């Protein structure tokens, strides 16, 4: 049984800001189903809902050094849905509104990583693998090698770093290397380790020092080794190609299940798609759109940022609205794009529903009610929304990048295969042509139902992905066993000498006491 500790800054149901929280909240369950013992450690944020905070049990206290600072660290525990969760508690670092974006984020997450390593001996669990997620925990493999590798309890530990989005790297002033991490700057602050254009890069440190690096789709694993997609880390990632794995994210089919979803108006499945239409009509009514099952309803539930392709939509909005379609948008983000959405709503009040907030229940109603799900991303490491959309019978239109390319196959009328629509260049008119094609296909109910069924029948659960993670863990454990065996074989044979003989052997022959000469002769 593989024992693995996930170290992450968020996980459902305790905290989620995006795909990272989805993955860490669902992947361990599937790994455990397949025979592993996977547990998760998180910061104990003040914003964890009280329904969970009240169940967390305190188990240990200690102090942790962050550079020269000695900080209190509490260890707590909670079991949920078959997974054991541990929490690192320090109120000055984590009892704040929100999770990221503070001036001392480098110190907060340096503390978190060091605290995890410090409390390992006090968990009722001895991991073989520490699996770190994104920049907030990527510095842990560096700290492990620098401060703990000489300790017997830590010597066999192997580390994995998963890059969920290379855009976020944890880049800070170079002073953090010595001041917060307690590292020798001459050795660690170099171009082949933590140094990044004169600053310190936490994610780069993880990429360099981890035993394996994974990312969240096969295409993205290739894209980040290129100049265009590498975000200035393509060189170091290319150097790790032998230990770089692209493993597609999945979704939790127990959590996202249109047949048993309390958030939607009417449950349905592949055999009862007429009830999906009921969800559409109720959503149109709720949003003050024309209630008409024959009008294609296009959904977007997304962060409103440049990378999500909103500029493409704005560039051809009039052409999209000239089609017989409705558009519902849900999300928050950068003020510029929030204003763009508001402007679009004001321009087409009868055809666009703009909701500048995020609500989990509302997002499920969009998946359940939409006919088409639009995701024209500039880049997308994996994407989870398109997987949920297909499972709920909403046909995705995506740009073929990263995980979108790996999961959405263009529909072919000849072979009757494919589960959506793709365009390749980041170009507004290419996107518009693809939307026009999808709307034309929608007018043929039999053809459209085939595309919907193809998407709903696809298996994007965690099962296959978990198998691939287990294969990576197996490889690391085998390497650790081999390295330990080789180290034992290289150790010199012990010499059986008593103290007297050892002293005698260091003396000139004329100074060796007579009794030692007798003892040595008998030994020989």
Q: Do 123 and 65 sit in the same domain of this protein?
A: yes
Q: Do 211 and 264 sit in the same domain of this protein?
A: no
User: How many structural domains are present in the chain?
Assistant: 3
| 74 Cβ contact partners less than 8 Å away, ≥ 6 residues apart | 44, 58, 60, 61, 87, 88, 89, 90
Q: Do 103 and 231 sit in the same domain of this protein?
A: yes
Q: What is the pLDDT of residue 33?
A: 96
Residue 366 lies in a domain: yes
| Residue 310 pLDDT class (50, 70, 90 cuts) | very high
Q: What is the mean pLDDT of residues 266-285?
A: 96
| 39 SS3 class | strand
Domain that holds residue 516: 497-523
Residue 377 lies in a domain: yes
Q: Do 436 and 501 sit in the same domain of this protein?
A: no
- 112 backbone φψ class: left, alpha, beta (φ>0; ψ -120 to 50): alpha
Q: Do 183 and 287 sit in the same domain of this protein?
A: no
**H or E segment to which residue 116 belongs:** helix 105-119
Of residues 457 and 520, the one with the higher pLDDT is 457
- Do strands 171-172 and 352-355 pair parallel, antiparallel, or not at all (unpaired)? unpaired
Q: Do 206 and 92 sit in the same domain of this protein?
A: yes
Q: Do 101 and 234 sit in the same domain of this protein?
A: yes
Q: What is the pLDDT of residue 483?
A: 78
Residue 350 lies in a domain: yes
For residue 495, pLDDT beyond 60: no
Q: Do 170 and 315 sit in the same domain of this protein?
A: no
Q: What torsion, rounded to 10 degrees, do the Cα atoms 509, 513, 519, 522 define? A: 50
Q: Do 263 and 244 sit in the same domain of this protein?
A: no
Token digits of residue 262: 């309390």
Q: What is the pLDDT of residues 152-211, one digit of tens each?
A: 889 999 999 999 999 999 999 999 999 999 999 999 999 999 999 999 999 999 999 999
State the CATH number of the domain containing residue 283.
3.40.50.2000
For residue 460, pLDDT beyond 80: yes
For residue 521, pLDDT beyond 50: no
For residue 502, pLDDT beyond 50: no
| Residue 461 pLDDT class (50, 70, 90 cuts) | very high
Q: Do 370 and 447 sit in the same domain of this protein?
A: yes
Q: How far is CA 282 from CA 43, 269, 363, in A?
A: 40, 17, 14
For residue 484, pLDDT beyond 80: no
Residue 152 lies in a domain: yes
Residue 432 lies in a domain: yes
Residue 490 lies in a domain: no
Q: What is the pLDDT of residues 420-440, one digit of tens each?
A: 999 999 999 999 999 999 999
Report how far residue 270's alpha carbon sits from residue 257's, in angstroms, rounded to the nearest whole number: 11
Q: Do 426 and 508 sit in the same domain of this protein?
A: no
Residue 17 lies in a domain: yes
Q: What is the pLDDT of residues 233-259, one digit of tens each?
A: 999 999 999 999 999 999 999 999 999
Q: Do 401 and 512 sit in the same domain of this protein?
A: no
Residue 492 lies in a domain: no
Q: What is the pLDDT of residues 5-54, one digit of tens each?
A: 999 999 999 999 888 999 999 999 999 999 999 999 999 999 999 999 99
Q: What is the pLDDT of residue 490?
A: 75
């Amino acid at each position: 049984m593989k024992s693995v500790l996930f170290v992450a800054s968020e996980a459902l149901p305790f905290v989620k800001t995006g795909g990272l929280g989805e993955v860490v909240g669902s992947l361990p369950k599937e790994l455990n189903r397949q025979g592993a013992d996977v547990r998760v450690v998180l910061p104990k944020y003040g914003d964890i809902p009280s329904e969970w905070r009240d169940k967390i049990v305190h188990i240990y206290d200690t102090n942790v050094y962050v550079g020269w600072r000695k900080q209190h660290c509490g260890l707590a525990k909670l079991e949920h849905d078959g997974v054991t969760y541990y929490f690192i508690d320090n109120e000055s670092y984590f009892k704040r509104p929100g999770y990221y974006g503070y001036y001392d984020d480098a110190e907060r997450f340096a503390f978190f990583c060091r605290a995890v390593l410090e409390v390992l001996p006090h968990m009722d669990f001895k991991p073989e693998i520490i699996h770190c997620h994104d920049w907030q925990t990527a510095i842990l493999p560096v700290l492990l090698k620098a401060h703990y590798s000489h300790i017997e309890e830590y010597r066999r530990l192997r580390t994995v770093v998963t890059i969920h989005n290379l855009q976020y790297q944890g880049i800070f002033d170079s002073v953090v290397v010595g001041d917060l991490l307690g590292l020798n700057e001459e050795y660690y602050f170099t171009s082949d380790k933590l140094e990044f254009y004169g600053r310190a890069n936490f994610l780069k440190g993880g990429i360099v020092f981890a035993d394996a690096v994974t990312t969240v789709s096969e295409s993205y694993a290739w894209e980040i080794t290129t100049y265009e997609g590498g975000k200035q880390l393509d060189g170091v990632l290319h150097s790790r190609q032998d230990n770089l794995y692209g493993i597609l994210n999945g979704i939790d089919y127990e959590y996202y299940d249109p047949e048993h979803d309390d958030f939607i108006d009417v449950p349905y499945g592949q055999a009862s798609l007429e009830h999906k239409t009921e969800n559409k009509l109720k959503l149109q009514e709720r949003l003050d759109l024309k209630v008409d099952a024959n009008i294609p309803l296009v959904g977007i539930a997304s962060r409103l940022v440049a990378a999500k392709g909103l500029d493409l939509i704005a560039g051809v909005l009039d052409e999209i609205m000239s089609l017989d379609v409705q558009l519902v948008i849900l999300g928050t983000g950068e003020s510029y794009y929030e204003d763009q959405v508001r402007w679009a709503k004001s321009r087409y009040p009868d055809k666009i529903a703009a909701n500048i907030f995020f609500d989990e229940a509302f997002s499920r109603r969009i998946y359940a009610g939409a006919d088409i799900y639009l995701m024209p991303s500039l880049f997308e490491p994996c994407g989870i929304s398109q997987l949920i959309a297909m499972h709920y019978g909403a046909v995705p239109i995506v740009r073929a990048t990263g995980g979108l390319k790996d999961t959405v196959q263009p529909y072919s009328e000849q072979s009757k295969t494919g589960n959506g629509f793709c365009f390749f260049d980041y170009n507004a008119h290419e996107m518009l042509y693809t939307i026009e094609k999808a709307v034309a296909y929608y007018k043929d109910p039999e053809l459209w139902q085939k595309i919907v069924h193809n998407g709903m029948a696809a298996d994007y659960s965690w099962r296959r992905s978990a198998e691939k993670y287990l294969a990576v863990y197996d490889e690391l454990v085998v390497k650790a066993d081999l390295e330990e065996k080789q180290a034992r074989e290289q150790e010199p044979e012990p010499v059986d000498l008593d103290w007297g003989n050892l002293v005698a052997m260091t003396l000139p022959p004329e100074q060796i006491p007579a009794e030692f000469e007798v003892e040595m002769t008998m030994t020989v």
